[in-house]
Amino acid sequence: MRIHSLPIQLVNQIAAGEVVERPSSVVKELVENCFDAGANQVVIEIEQGGARLIKIRDNGCGIVKEDLPLALSRHATSKISSLKDLEQVVSMGFRGEALPSISSVSRLTLISRISDADCAWRVNADGTEQDFDPQPDPHPQGTTIDVRDLFYNTPARRKFLKTEKTEFSHIETLIKRMALSRFDIGFSLSHNQKEILNLKPAATESEQEQRIANICGSAFIENSVSIDFAASGLQLTGWVGLPTFSRSQQDMQFFYVNGRLVRDKLVSHAVKQAYQDVLFHGRHPVFVLYLTLDPTLVDVNAHPAKLEVRFREGRLVHDFLFSALHRSLANLRPGHAASRQPDSELSQQIPPVSSATGSTSSVVWVDPVNENSREQAVNRKSTFGAKPSYSTRPPPQQASLPLQVEEAIQAYAALYPKTEPKTQSAPQAMPLGHAIAHLHNIYILSETPNGIILVDAHAAHERVTYERLKQQYQNGSVPSQPLLLPIKITVSAAEADLAEDQHEFFNTLGFEVNRSGPETLVLRSIPVLLGNTDMETLIRDVLADLIEHGMSQRIQEKSNEILAKVACHGSVRAHRRLTIDEMNALLRDMEQTERIGQCNHGRPTWIELSTQDLDKFFLRGQ
């Protein structure tokens, strides 16, 4: 056949295949137009899951009568006028193809009125971009778009729609996600004349948190902390869930770039790295985060439905997100209240953070928490009762600890010197209280002025050891001590080869491991931090991890996992009886350790029961 031009309606229907996937796609495009119109109230009416009716009304600026035909024509828009505008898009919609595409597969009616017009004007469209005949209408200021019988003229598309319940579920989820992006706008959603959502504009932080609670559940707010970071022209605000409050699915992860909801692999990777050693295996973090940056640094024109973006400085964004989340999780320590400092002080005080990939971020952490969110964060309780709080200062550096002569064969006594119990005179300095018992040789029972605390000794000691190993490993100075009697370890030939190949790697961990035969290793030095741990078992476990992780080039990427393994095997074991002094020493170290709320495997390390909780158990005061 000869080359020929396609009919306009067919062109719009082809475009609709990219823009209009299902009824929720129509809702997304139309609600984004409400945002750009400056509306502060959006009403969405749905019937039969959107297949019969999608009606969206706003109180925005409206469209003048003469522009109504253009609004329903391809590539006509008021939001950009040049390539320069396209390179710094600040509006939600800008392609100018949504309305004609939607009208080509439905019966569309557009009614709009500007503020100083005598009346509104109504036009009908069928995707042909012809025969527009505006008619007067008593509509108030704003715009209403009525979309009926979606895909009525494309039956092949219509038969791929799911059930009414499923399609409306997609619409409801979409509106909830969009409501989180614009707290200044009220939303009303109804289905088959039944109101489903009614969200009023949220101006204050408490109102915003109430909206989040309405959408994500009150448990999200109770188990999250608000963050506010800025550096290098980037700003990250929002709420992140505590590691102990996680999900089996990624269904409560909301990320917005300049107010636009996006799904981005770079963002997902940065979040995953930040949570990698505090989250229980198989679980996913929850968050509502807002990234604000110069529009010229992000390309929002990478996807027809604008669901994906491209960052011009991907590494900078990745390291910034990792640093912000990493620090917010690291500073969730018991009893450490945030101290607000001038940005200049923080920029000099806080060093860059190295991500798990080994790259170093050059961003500076500033303005971490505003006053209101900090006070609310301190007052919230986690799922396990722990009260999260912030500290902008890194934990104090701790000197290497001498080995104890008494009980030298015990791991904990080898790691920490005995500490004299402190009195009740300074409860603020000891938020984890004073140990009073070791229950079942596993749990530390501690008394505080506000109640009692239970600590899993092994899990807590594992986190303390792990954080110290990480710090020493990153500094390249893991202190080691020679063994009085070297330990011979019999391994397989493959394990011996691996140990010989990774000799330098073991040195960085504080071990001196030499090969003395085809299947024999000799351990001559060990890290001071691990004391008199069962080193033969530990070396076997580390070798097993190295074999599982693959070739040597992958070892550096897995170093934190191996350090976690080292820390786990080097920590005080359950059923090992601890003295009161040892338990108090562990509590004091916990108060100075980052991410102490979880062990290396994501399990909680401590819980708190207040006196009010105890009173409820025994019906006191009721």
- Residue ranges per structural domain of the chain: 8-199, 205-379, 401-622
pLDDT category, 533, cuts 50, 70, 90? low
Reported as a single tens digit per residue, the pLDDT across 178-212 is 999 999 999 999 999 999 999 999 999 899 999 99
Between CA 19 and CA 13 the distance in angstroms is 10
Strand-pair partners of 227: 238
What gap in Å lies between CA 211 and CA 255, rounded to an integer? 16
- Crossing angle of helices 535-549/559-570, nearest 10°? 160
Q: How far apart are CA 147 and CA 72, in angstroms?
A: 13
Q: Which residue(s) pair with 292 in the sheet?
A: 235
Q: Quote the Cα angle for 268-161-166, to 5°.
A: 60
Alpha helices by DSSP H, listed for 476-610, are 493-501, 503-508, 535-549, 559-570, 580-591
How many of the other CB atoms lie within 10 Å of CB of 313? Answer: 15
Radius of gyration of the chain (CA): 30
Give backbone dihedrals phi and psi of 44, rounded to 5 degrees, phi first. Answer: -120, 125
DSSP class of residue 604 equals: B
Q: Is 196 exposed, middle or buried (0-12, 13-18, 19+ CB in 10 A)?
A: middle
- The position carrying tokens 């229980």 is 280
Report which of 270, 250, 366, 360 is spatially closest to residue 311, judged by C-alpha positions: 270
Helix (H, G, I), strand (E, B) or coil at 567: helix
Do the Cβ atoms of 105 and 127 come closer than 8 Å?
yes
CB 461 within 8 A of CB 497: no
CA 21 to chain CA centroid, nearest Å = 28
Where are the strands (E) in 280-412, listed by range? 287-292, 298-299, 310-311
Three-class secondary structure of residue 444 per DSSP: strand
CA distance 236 to 258: 10
pLDDT above 90: residue 262? no
Neighbours of 529 (CB within 10 A): 23
CA distance 438 to 456: 10
Residue 385's region, left for phi above 0, alpha for psi from -120 to 50, else beta, is left
Q: From residue 312, how far is each of 290, 293, 294, 318 by CA, in Å?
A: 18, 11, 11, 11
Q: Are 51 and 105 in contact (CB under 8 A)?
A: no
For the stretch 136-187, pLDDT in tens is 999 999 999 999 999 888 888 888 899 999 999 999 999 999 999 999 999 9
pLDDT in tens, 412-426: 334 434 444 444 444
| CA-based nearest residue to 287, from 267, 304, 260 | 267
Question: Minimal CA–CA distance to 332: which of 68, 612, 13, 591?
Answer: 591
From 3.30.1370.100, 3.40.50.720, 3.40.50.1820, 1.10.760.10, which CATH number describes the 401-622 domain? 3.30.1370.100
Q: Does 401-622 match 8-199 at the fold level?
A: no
Q: Any idea what DSSP says for residue 224?
A: E
Q: How far apart are CA 9 and CA 103, in angstroms?
A: 9
CA distances to 112, 334, 511, 547, 553 from 556, in Å: 61, 31, 16, 13, 7
Q: What is the pLDDT of residues 461-499, one digit of tens each?
A: 888 888 887 777 667 666 778 888 899 999 898 889 988
Per the model's pLDDT, the better-predicted residue between 553 and 528 turns out to be 528
| Main-chain dihedrals φ then ψ at residue 546, nearest 5 degrees | -65, -40
pLDDT of the residue at 238: 93
Nearest residue to 334 via CA among 229, 451, 217:
451
- Spatial separation of the C-alpha atoms in residues 244 and 279, rounded to whole Å: 7
Q: Which CATH number fits domain 8-199: 3.30.300.10, 3.40.50.20, 3.40.50.720, 3.30.565.10?
A: 3.30.565.10
**Contact in structure between 89 and 82 (CB atoms under 8 Å):** no
Stretch among 49-53, 129-133, 242-246, 400-404 having the lowest mean pLDDT: 400-404
pLDDT in tens, 234-251: 999 999 988 888 888 888
Number of neighbours of residue 130 by Cβ within 10 angstroms: 11
Q: Quick check: 471 and 399 in contact, CB under 8 A?
A: no
Residue 300 has pLDDT above 90, yes or no: no
pLDDT digits over 88-109, tens only?
777 786 666 788 888 888 999 9
Asked: is 205-379 a CATH 3.30.230.10 domain? The reply is yes
DSSP 558: G
Q: Return the number of other C-beta atoms located less than 10 Å from residue 467's C-beta.
A: 22
